[in-house]
Every structure is written in structure tokens, then in C-alpha cells.
Amino acid sequence: MGYKVVVVGATGNVGREMLTILAEREFPIDEIAAVASSRSTGTEVDFGDTGKTLKCRNIEHFDFAGWDIALFAAGSGPAKDYAPKAAAAGCVVIDNSSLYRMDPDVPLVVPEVNPEAIDGYTKKNIIANPNCSTAQMVVALKPLHDAATIKRVVVATYQSVSGAGKVGMDELFEQSRNIFVGDPAEPKKFTKQIAFNVIPHIDVFLDDGSTKEEWKMVVETKKILDPKIKVTATCVRVPVFVGHSEAINLEFEDEISAAKAQSILREAPGVMLVDKREDGGYVTPIECVGDYATFVSRVREDSTVDNGLSLWCVSDNLRKGAALNAVQIAELLGRRHLKKG
């Protein structure tokens, strides 16, 4: 006996990836529904490589009663309007938006890091998926934190345009093409030209000068990993289609060598250590696309602080940063609570 699963926002980048990953991982499904806004009603989407296509249904008229799990990839607006309705109908919501992440009654879950947190889902019948840049970072940090206790994290992100959706990917493509043929490359989605450029600005600015994306990394890391960890982030949009990268500097309570960290990461769930100190002995975003792993490279000691390490972390943001983590949450929910598949 399998599950009845709804994918909300099925026509977007993350929604389509959710369908692909559900099929790839052979999630036990008896029935699946693709749901989207009224303007996408009737649009057909592939259910991975199963050969099955799904016709999108209008969320305004969709009845969540009798469905087990709803994966929401439609943004904060639809999540606010429809996630509580789904939850009230007995369908467990796994939401990819930022709306519920800091709600104390909603667990924020990365299965490799804090699987036990999912047990609190019954308060609202909603589980939150973290920000894409947070998700991959905490996968890399968790085993190191367990070994030597992280005091402080300084992270600079290099985030791909797919994090801004299809419109972000289209803008990079169109600007790059226009520059090559001598046409104007005016920004629309982004605040400045993204082609052949980097933009130190993701989401809105806050009063303290940080951006909301940077704030998300701080508060989500504390909620998922440890409230005592100090985190500072600089989030940067780069002209890469898919794959987020992060340069992470860590300060630990206890002594930990680069060799010890490499040994720990080599065995850590969800982590793939690729760290050869030679030309090409590291992973770049283009190499991580389509992969489940969070890749770690360039592990080295930082002599400027006591017990310091630096490392490079790369992951497919549409997968571990969004769709894969949501499906892993669904798998965890099934194992610990629903127990159907």
C-alpha cells in the first residue's frame, strides 16, 4: 500500500524536479496529482522517466481530503492560502517556501541533520523545507559539529540563477546571447546585469544592512543545527544556471585537523568528499547538477584562529536545496509516522 501524493507548483523548476525525484527514488505512490495555479491548469508535466504524464489541476478547486502528503513548491503566497487547508484536511504539507520555516510549531528538517525534529509535525500538520543555501551547508557542518562543536560560521555563497526560478535562468541566457551579438542586456529579474557579473544581493535588504537571504542562513542554521552557533553570511548571485557553491570558514570549540575533518566527511551521510590537492581535485557547480550529494572540497586548516577550518561546499540547489530534501522529508515521514509504503 502506497501514498497519495500531491505536488503543488508542478510546472515550476522545483515542482518538476520533485516529480522527477519521486520517480527516481521509487517513492511508494498509489496516486499522484500535479497541481498548479489557474493559468497552468491543463498543462502536462512528466512524472520523471516513467513515461507517465500528469495534467495539472487547478489549486483553487483541489480537494486535499484523502491525500496523504502534499509537496508545496509554489512560493509563500499559495503556501499561506492553501497549506493550512491541506493540513486541516488531513494531508501533511511539506512546504518549500520560507513562510513556515521559523514558526516554532513547524519543524524545519534536513533528514541527515535533525531527523528527530519531524516528530513535531502534528502541531500544524506542516513541515518546512529550509532555504537552498542553508540545506547544503548544514549537511556538511553537522558531522563536524558533532565531532568538535562549531562556535562560528563565516560563509560566502555563490548562488545560481535557478534559485530565482525559470525567469532567472531565462535572464542569464538572454543577456549572455545579447552581449555576444551586441544587443542591450537590461536587467529585469535581477537588480543588475547577471551575465558575466556577480551581484551581492539576494532577496530584500533589512535594517541592519544584511539581506533576507543572509538572515535566513543565520536563523535556519541555528534552528536546524544549534541555537548557540554564531553565523554570518554574504549571499551572492553568480552567472551559473544550476548549482550553489559556498566558501565556509569555521571556528570550533575543540581542536580538529583538516585530516580528521576529511575522515569524518568521507563517512558522513549525504556528503561526497572530493578533495585532492591538485589541479581539478575539487567539485564545481557544473559537475554537481543532477546529483543527490552535497560535495565538499578544499578542506584546510585556518591558522588565523584557534581550531579553524575552511572548506568549499557545492550542491544542486534544485535537488538537495529544494526538491530532493522535500522528498527525503516525505520518506522520513513515512518511516517514522505514516508507515504505508
Determine the pLDDT at residue 1.
Answer: 81
Q: Does domain 133-160+198-315 have CATH number 3.30.450.40?
A: no
* Domain limits, CATH 3.40.50.720, in the chain: 3-129+322-337
Taking only the tens place, the pLDDT of each residue in 283-306 is 999 999 999 999 999 999 999 999
* Domain limits, CATH 3.30.360.10, in the chain: 133-160+198-315
* d(C-alpha 100, C-alpha 107), whole Å: 9
The region, left, alpha or beta by phi > 0 then psi within -120 to 50, assigned to residue 30 is alpha
Note whether 296 and 312 are within 8 A (CB).
yes
Whether the pLDDT of residue 308 is over 90: the answer is yes
Whether the pLDDT of residue 173 is over 90: the answer is yes
Whether the pLDDT of residue 112 is over 80: the answer is yes
Write out the binding residues for substrate: 159, 237
Determine the pLDDT at residue 224.
Answer: 98
Active site (catalytic) residues: 132, 244
Task: Report the mean per-residue pLDDT for the chain.
Answer: 97
The total of other beta-carbon atoms located within 10 Å of residue 183's CB is: 11
DSSP codes joined into one string, 265-282: HHTSTTEEE---SSTT-S
Q: Does domain 3-129+322-337 have CATH number 3.40.50.720?
A: yes
Determine the pLDDT at residue 150.
Answer: 98
Q: How confident is the model at residue 194 (pLDDT cuts 50, 70, 90)?
A: very high
Cell representation of residue 151? 562556535
Write out the binding residues: 11-14, 39-40, 101, 159, 162-163, 184, 237, 317
Q: How confident is the model at residue 340 (pLDDT cuts 50, 70, 90)?
A: confident
Taking only the tens place, the pLDDT of each residue in 70-104 is 999 999 999 999 999 999 999 999 999 999 999 99
* Across 18-44, average pLDDT: 96
* Across 224-246, average pLDDT: 98
* Across 171-199, average pLDDT: 97
Whether the pLDDT of residue 341 is over 90: the answer is no
Write out the binding residues for phosphate: 101
Match 544542486 to its residue by C-alpha cell: 316
Give the DSSP H or E segment for 93: strand 92-95
Note whether 272 and 296 are within 8 A (CB).
yes
Taking only the tens place, the pLDDT of each residue in 120-155 is 999 999 999 999 999 999 999 999 999 999 999 999
* Across 11-21, average pLDDT: 96
Determine the pLDDT at residue 167.
Answer: 97
Write out the binding residues for NADP(+): 11-14, 39-40, 162-163, 184, 317
* Across 302-324, average pLDDT: 97
Give the DSSP H or E segment for 138: helix 132-148
